[in-house]
Amino acid sequence: MSGPGPVPRCVGGIFVGGRSTRMGGRPKGLLAAPDGGTLVERSCRVLAAAEIDDVVLVGAQAAYAPLGLPMLDDEPPGTGPLGGILALLGYATRMQAPFTMALACDMPFVSEGLITRLRDAPLAAVIAPRRNGRWEPLCARYESGAAATGAHRLVTGDYSLQRWLDGAGAVELPLTEEEARELDDWDTPEDASRASSGRP
């Protein structure tokens, strides 16, 4: 995708699903971001800065309705993040967008630069960073055609994103040490309490 010419259309999906039990049930995306606003608003800003303006929320929750963004349920329900990615890929297909960018709302340090690198990476069914030998499927770019292999995982009852990306021919996006730190997420109130430092 790199090189001169217009950037192919890419839909952005901000993943806000999950019960946030370790956050006391409060929706993670509505927590305050280190640099202002909420986490989900920050995710919108980062995607827009990387020229990804068609943004949807993956994980329909009433708490996010005031944001006025389209919301997608998992397809089918009860299949976890795999179902969320398939819902996003289905939406991209309906919008005639060849690519989707998946981004977890609880990664408050992901930069425009990292998203732009993912957007402009060479063609691949999936391109994603890896840390400690594991894919980061919710900071990744997907071709819309990857839905076929994901749907096969549903049929077999295997919802593992790691095994799906292995089987789908995912390509690793190499990271600098600084970029690797951008992928730190907030799972507990203690994680969020470190926001005053502005870094993970």
Is residue 20 domain-resident? yes
Is residue 5 domain-resident? no
Is residue 2 domain-resident? no
22: CATH? 3.90.550.10
Return per-residue pLDDT of the chain as tens, 200 residues: 544 445 568 999 999 976 554 555 678 899 999 988 999 999 999 999 999 979 999 998 889 999 999 999 988 888 889 999 999 999 999 999 999 999 999 999 999 999 999 999 999 999 999 998 999 999 999 998 888 888 888 888 888 999 999 998 999 999 999 999 999 988 765 656 665 454 55
CA separation for the pair 175, 173 (Å, rounded): 6
Give the chain's domain count. 1
For 113, counting Cβ atoms within 10 Å of its Cβ (0-12 exposed, 13-18 middle, 19+ buried), the class is: middle
Q: Model pTM?
A: 0.88
CA separation for the pair 200, 188 (Å, rounded): 13
User: Residue 11: beta bridge partners?
Assistant: 100
Is residue 140 domain-resident? yes
Is residue 4 domain-resident? no
CA separation for the pair 84, 96 (Å, rounded): 18
CA separation for the pair 154, 157 (Å, rounded): 5
Is residue 144 domain-resident? yes
Tell me what pLDDT residue 193 has: 62
- Which run of H or E residues covers position 113? helix 112-120
Domain containing residue 22: 11-197
CA separation for the pair 76, 84 (Å, rounded): 8
Q: Is 112 helix (H, G, I), strand (E, B) or coil?
A: helix
Those residues whose C-beta lies under 8 Å from the C-beta of residue 113, and which sit 6 or more positions away, are 179
Tell me what pLDDT residue 98 has: 93
Is residue 6 domain-resident? no
- Which run of H or E residues covers position 180? helix 177-182
Cis peptide before 174 (omega within 30 of 0): no
Residue 71's CB is within 10 A of a number of other CB atoms, namely: 18
Is residue 29 domain-resident? yes
Complete DSSP assignment for 29-78: GGSBPTTSSBHHHHHHHHHHHTT---EEEES--GGGGGG---EE--SSTT
Tell me what pLDDT residue 195 has: 55
Structure tokens at 28: 């993670």
